[in-house]
Structure 1
Amino acid sequence: MSDLPRKAVTRTAKLAALPIGFAGRATWGIGKRIGGKSAELVGRELQQRTAEQLFRVLGELKGGAMKFGQALSVFESALPEDVAGPYRAALTKLQEAAPPMPTRTVHAVLDERLGAEWRELFLEFEDKPAAAASIGQVHRAVWHDGREVAVKVQYPGAGEALLSDLNQLGRFARLLGPLIPGMDIKPLITELRDRVSEELDYALEARAQQAHAEEFDGDPDVVVPHVVHQCEQVLVTEWIDGIPLAEIISDGSKEQRDRAGQLLARFLFSGPARTGLLHADPHPGNFRLLPDDKSGWRLGVLDFGTVDRLPGGLPAPIGDSLRLTLEGDASAIYELLREEGFVRESIQLEPDAVLDYLLPIIEPAQVEEFTFTRSWMRNQAARIADPRSPAHQLGRQLNLPPAYLLIHRVTLSTIGVLCQLGATVRLRDELEAWVTGFVVEETDSEETDSEEAGTEEGDPEPPAAEA
């Protein structure tokens, strides 16, 4: 395996091969059909070949290309099943692994960042990577104090690669769009580009991870590894074992999938409330299911390179809008969305139409427990993507304010993972516990008014003659 390709011309050529390859295979498919093969069989072969090329190119390039692939992978639940099959295996690979960088490159980074005697910091160090991601790879080791640790080493040139890839992918956004029907790819790429500098900064990541590790230390549901050491291009954290969520998705029992889904929802909503930070990279490669004697299973959370800073937790209008939608208060929800910038001042919509648009989306919050499925996700995507549907026409007129962009993507991605799991989740419990505004708390004055009303109701009725 060669080093991470850093020259823009090299990476551009590889990325340019994607849409060209798509077109070439379409021509090949026409030839196959003329030759007598059925359209269905040819279509499946085309999808399989496209999926294989997608993984090979995005995985080899790492950087922004692989980051884009990982972001796409959580949305495969929205694809029609006959299309999703071939892509599922290829995209899911991006969640757990990528071709590793050479050992000599890893050693060169450690020499430069930890010093020529870096091996003295470890009792053991495995040269073979345990995992590879978009901007770095992880090696298992034993720290000098005996703790098992994960050593994340950033690919040399990762920053240039990220920016180059995302710029190129932005140009191909229209061609890549059909991978996820109904999803606008360009804003996703723009938002990923905006997060590049933060994800490259391991000092920021270390602070975010340690804040979570301290808050969730001893938690019965969530495990976050503590930071052991950090310097430029190298991050050392405690090692945690566990079953990768991708394996739970493919082979887990119903109990494991339900427990993973519940804990994933719990972490999504409790994390911002408890730490003021939102873990903003919820693809399955960043989660583990750990056996626990008391609770059965706990959720291990990794990779805090991308976070959203929410000092007060999730914005209160999120809880307010969910509550008002569930209450069916069309006028109130419309005014709230207008105040928050989801409906521009120049746009006029029917409040009842807005309510009709929102209700199916928040179906999981309407019931005590909800089973997330790929078919439910596909139905939602089809409803919004179909140009003939009222939902599509209304959705085109809505706006997504910048302050909500990352929250929106994280929520959608988490729902995508829940659908991959097929998990039955008590989502409403998590909303009530952690989301401000979802439940209206009685104030002291309201309680006093209620008590006074109760007293009046208990007073004896006036005589009939006086009534």
Structure 2
Amino acid sequence: MTDIPRRAVSRTAKLAALPLGFAGRTVLGMGKRVTGLASDVISAEIQQRTAEQLFSVLGQLKGGAMKFGQALSVFEAALPEEVAAPYRQALTKLQEAAPPLPAATVHKVLAEQLGPDWRGFFVTFDDKPAAAASIGQVHRAVWRDPEGIPRDAAVKIQYPGAGDALLADLKQLSRLGGMFRAFQPGLDVKPLLAELRERITEELDYELEAESQRAFGAAYADDPEIFVPAVLAATPRVLVTEWVEGIPLADIIREGAEEQRDEAGRLMAILHLSAPMRAGLLHADPHPGNFRLLPDGRLGVIDFGAVARMPEGTPEPIGRLAGMALRGEADAVVAGLREEGFVSGTEPIDAQAVLDYVRPMLDPVATEEFRFTRSWLRSEAARLASPRSPAYQLGRQLNLPPSYLLIHRVTLGSIGVLCQLNAKAPYRAILERWLPGFAPVG
């Protein structure tokens, strides 16, 4: 029925080869260590070769491998520069590119989902995809609405067999945790993969995505800063929405002017922080391929397959504890973290050490304006992930409660994009407006 099942063996073989290649490079590193080559040089060389092969393979795949690659790519800004630089372009490609389906397969899906006379819904339909991603590809078309008025449209078509591909790839990738730590010590991919698996069923249901998009659209109707395209039609495997014309965030990251970067970052922060309060939903897929900077200055959002349902908004303790930390209330911070499950048991813990652990993470909202940079994120990643760091040792005493996992992952992803943008904005004021409980000064 499609090329995806026929490629399954090839895809699995490529993924399976990754740890073998990594093992070979580890042996190479051991050999060089015997000859006296400095261990940090060996480590950097292994990191670069491992990551280069990893992203090369992920970039060739659909299904769960590409979905994981997209999720991982937003953390590119945290990688050491010598590791990230050689294949930053490959990471960006993961955000918006994949091999397209043949036109005959596209037509078959449209006939199955919209009926044999599917062409009657369109004035024109471009067989060449405008964009392709992990579980589907997008075609540009002109939709004929019920009144016969033509409307520029984006037609998202799910790859046949996408569900099976996702599950198979994520199962294979779950075995590669040790390899990822080779180029980013402290990076634990298992929670990320587990959370992606939980999202598969929702993302495969385009009718559910349409429902989420309509909810966002209602929340941001006529908003001067955020634009959500209208849903024109939806079936389980085909979603038709308004076409969004604008500059992809990936292009702004690569070559945008400073004012574009700053404005895109400000709008991203507003969307991330305001959506739970306004829509009761959190946009849970913050990679740059899902956003456009529109000619009128608004941020266009074009993918709602991954959302978190938060009918009560963002949990109030997040804002309250952040404010306490900024005010230096160490004992209150520990008490609040213990109440929320971040500190387990009743064993005593050094409150000042906990505050010292948390406080640097809040630098972006400690002042009126802040510029997110790759160097800032790398320094934070090193502080938290290096086994020699006091923060690393303390972090082993803290937990991430399951109820906060998705919020944590999306926030980290959004920060990764802000650092790629090198964006400066008044983030503290945005938090004060949209984050319940946040009060940085007494």
| TM-score, with structure 1 as normaliser | 0.88
Give the CA deviation at 1:161: 0.8
Q: Select 2:251's aligned residue among 247, 269, 272.
A: 247
Which secondary structure state, in structure 2, belongs to the residue aligned with residue 54 of structure 1? helix
Asked whether the equivalents of residues 51 and 90 of structure 1 are also in contact (C-alpha less than 8 Å), the reply is no
Which secondary structure state, in structure 2, belongs to the residue aligned with residue 106 of structure 1? helix
Asked whether the equivalents of residues 314 and 435 of structure 1 are also in contact (C-alpha less than 8 Å), the reply is yes
Does residue 299 in structure 1 map to residue 291 in structure 2? no
Q: CA RMSD in A?
A: 2.7
Give the CA deviation at 1:274: 0.2
Structure 1: how far apart are the matches of 2:130 and 2:347?
A: 51
Give the CA deviation at 1:11: 3.3
Which secondary structure state, in structure 2, belongs to the residue aligned with residue 130 of structure 1? strand
Does residue 279 in structure 1 map to residue 283 in structure 2? yes
Asked whether the equivalents of residues 6 and 160 of structure 1 are also in contact (C-alpha less than 8 Å), the reply is no
Residue 178 of structure 1 corresponds to 182
Does residue 211 in structure 1 map to residue 206 in structure 2? no
Alignment of 1:14-163 (within 5 A): 14-24=14-24, 50=50, 53-144=53-144, 145-163=149-167
Structure 1: how far apart are the matches of 2:55 and 2:441?
A: 49
Deviations, residues 206-261 of structure 1 (Å, cap 9, x unaligned): 11111111211211111111111000210111111100000000100000000000
Does residue 235 in structure 1 map to residue 239 in structure 2? yes
Flag structure 2 segments of 5+ consecutive residues without an equivalent.
none
More divergent stretch after superposition (422-431 vs 53-62): 53-62
Does residue 259 in structure 1 map to residue 263 in structure 2? yes
Amino acid at match of 1:311: P
Amino acid at match of 2:257: S
Which secondary structure state, in structure 2, belongs to the residue aligned with residue 195 of structure 1? helix
Does residue 199 in structure 1 map to residue 203 in structure 2? yes
Identity percentage of aligned residues: 62
Give the CA deviation at 1:60: 3.1
Amino acid at match of 1:355: L
Which secondary structure state, in structure 1, belongs to the residue aligned with residue 361 of structure 2? coil
Residue 452 of structure 1 corresponds to none
Flag structure 1 segments of 5+ consecutive residues without an equivalent.
443-467
Which secondary structure state, in structure 2, belongs to the residue aligned with residue 148 of structure 1? strand
Asked whether the equivalents of residues 29 and 42 of structure 1 are also in contact (C-alpha less than 8 Å), the reply is yes
Does residue 226 in structure 1 map to residue 261 in structure 2? no
More divergent stretch after superposition (362-371 vs 39-48): 39-48
Which secondary structure state, in structure 1, belongs to the residue aligned with residue 298 of structure 2? strand
Which secondary structure state, in structure 2, belongs to the residue aligned with residue 257 of structure 1? helix
Structure 1: how far apart are the matches of 2:164 and 2:351?
A: 46
Q: Label 1:441 to 1:50 Cα distance change in 2 as closer, same or farther (>3 A).
A: closer
Which secondary structure state, in structure 1, belongs to the residue aligned with residue 101 of structure 2? coil
Asked whether the equivalents of residues 48 and 183 of structure 2 are also in contact (C-alpha less than 8 Å), the reply is no
Q: Label 1:44 to 1:329 Cα distance change in 2 as closer, same or farther (>3 A).
A: closer
Structure 1: how far apart are the matches of 2:367 and 2:41?
A: 41
Which secondary structure state, in structure 1, belongs to the residue aligned with residue 360 of structure 2? coil
Which secondary structure state, in structure 2, belongs to the residue aligned with residue 336 of structure 1? helix
Which secondary structure state, in structure 2, belongs to the residue aligned with residue 353 of structure 1? helix
Which secondary structure state, in structure 1, belongs to the residue aligned with residue 60 of structure 2? helix
Q: Label 1:346 to 1:67 Cα distance change in 2 as closer, same or farther (>3 A).
A: farther
Which secondary structure state, in structure 1, belongs to the residue aligned with residue 154 of structure 2? strand
Asked whether the equivalents of residues 216 and 228 of structure 2 are also in contact (C-alpha less than 8 Å), the reply is yes
Structure 1: how far apart are the matches of 2:356 and 2:33?
A: 43
| TM-score, with structure 2 as normaliser | 0.92
Which secondary structure state, in structure 2, belongs to the residue aligned with residue 397 of structure 1? coil
Asked whether the equivalents of residues 4 and 101 of structure 1 are also in contact (C-alpha less than 8 Å), the reply is no
Give the CA deviation at 1:185: 1.1
Q: Label 1:158 to 1:325 Cα distance change in 2 as closer, same or farther (>3 A).
A: same
Asked whether the equivalents of residues 371 and 425 of structure 2 are also in contact (C-alpha less than 8 Å), the reply is yes
Structure 2: how far apart are the matches of 1:185 and 1:197?
A: 20
Residue 391 of structure 1 corresponds to 391
Structure 2: how far apart are the matches of 1:433 and 1:109?
A: 45
